């Protein structure tokens, strides 16, 4: 049986609250652009990140604390997660929804710099990582004391994104496991910047005993990113 580093479950209602809070602006709001000369504080970003209670009753903060200065893997496969580009204050809010048949994770990291040039450099550095991603990776089965994962193939595609004037890129990844252990994982790693802040938002949904991608994945990751940037204004 496939087992991730965390146990897994899919919550059917996990993102229902977002249908009201995200992507609900009128045409005038859609045309608004952030003021690039106005610095955004770490307090503002901390208040903008999604909380477990907003996503659904099965979401919570993870039991294990990760290194706050380590971001998620951008390219997937066996590529390491990059360190947060230096010089900024790191604000993070990781969330998980896990059980027996699948899982969802949301890694939210805001990198708050003292000026726009610091954020510009951070975005450029992370874009360099994304540009080096292999389009397809074949990874053999892994068995360690804390991880048992079948062999899989993972694809990665980099796309530009402009969300409410926050610009950058998103890496869309799809993982398919060996046929003897059917399962999929879809991940969107979004890296966007405005003024002095870079937001790294990674949403992933894992499904066991299924060979098809999650039906609402594309809608859900966009809602999650959209909600955060709209709160900042």
Question: In angstroms, what CA-CA distances link 119 with 114, 186, 220, 228?
Answer: 8, 28, 26, 18
Total number of domains in the chain? 1
Tens-digit pLDDT profile for residues 80-130: 999 999 999 999 999 999 866 689 999 999 999 999 999 999 999 999 999
Q: What global pTM score does this model have?
A: 0.84
Asked if residue 137 is part of any domain, the answer here is yes
Token couple for 96? 């998980």
In a domain, residue 6? The reply is no
Partner residues linked to 174 by β-bridges: 155, 186
Residue 172 lies in a domain: yes
Please, where are the H alpha helices in the chain? 18-21, 27-30, 42-48, 52-55, 116-131, 217-232
Cα Rg of the chain, angstroms: 17
Torsions phi, psi for 131 (to 5 deg): -65, -20
**Within-domain flag for 71:** yes
CATH number of the CATH domain containing 71: 3.40.1000.70
Q: Is residue 73 part of a domain?
A: yes
Overall average pLDDT of the 37-62 stretch? 95
**Does 13 reside within a domain?**
no
- Count the neighbouring beta carbons within 10 Å of the beta carbon of residue 153: 14
Q: Which one has a higher pLDDT value, 79 or 63?
A: 79
pLDDT of residue 186: 96
> Could you tell me if 92 and 105 are in contact, meaning their C-beta atoms sit under 8 angstroms apart?
no
Distances (CA, A) of 106 to 143, 203, 231: 25, 5, 17
The answer as to whether 140 is a domain residue is: yes
What does DSSP assign to residue 81? P
**What residues form DSSP beta bridges with 126?**
none
pLDDT in tens, 169-221: 999 999 999 888 888 999 999 999 999 999 999 999 998 877 677 888 999 99
**118 in the Ramachandran plot: left (φ > 0), alpha (ψ -120 to 50) or beta?**
alpha
68 membership: H or E segment, kind and range: none
Contacts of 99 (CB under 8 A, 6+ apart): 7, 8, 9, 10, 11, 58
Backbone angles phi, psi at 172, to 5 degrees: -100, 120
The answer to the question of residue 142 being in a domain is yes
Structural domain for 97, as ranges: 18-232
More confident residue, 51 or 68: 51
């Amino acid at each position: 049986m496939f087992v991730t580093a965390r146990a897994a479950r899919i919550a059917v209602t996990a993102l229902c609250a977002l249908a009201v809070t995200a992507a609900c602006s009128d045409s005038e709001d859609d045309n608004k652009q952030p003021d690039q000369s106005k610095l955004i504080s770490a307090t503002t970003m901390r208040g903008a990140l999604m909380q477990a209670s907003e996503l659904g009753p099965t979401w919570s903060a993870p039991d294990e604390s990760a290194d706050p200065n380590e971001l998620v893997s951008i390219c997937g496969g066996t590529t390491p997660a990059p360190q947060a580009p230096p010089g900024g204050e790191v604000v993070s809010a990781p969330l998980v929804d896990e059980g027996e048949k699948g899982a969802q994770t949301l890694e939210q990291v805001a990198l708050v710099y003292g000026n726009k040039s610091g954020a510009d450099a951070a975005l450029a550095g992370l874009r360099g990582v994304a540009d080096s991603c292999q389009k397809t990776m074949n990874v053999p089965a892994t068995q360690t004391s804390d991880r048992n994962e079948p062999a899989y193939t993972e694809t990665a595609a980099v796309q530009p994104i402009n969300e409410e004037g926050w610009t950058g890129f998103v890496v869309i990844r799809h993982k398919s496991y060996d046929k003897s252990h059917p399962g999929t994982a879809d991940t969107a790693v979004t890296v966007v910047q405005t003024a002095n802040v870079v937001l790294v938002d990674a949403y992933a949904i894992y499904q066991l005993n299924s060979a098809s991608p999650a039906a609402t994945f594309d809608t859900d990751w966009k809602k999650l990113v959209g909600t955060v940037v709209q709160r900042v204004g």
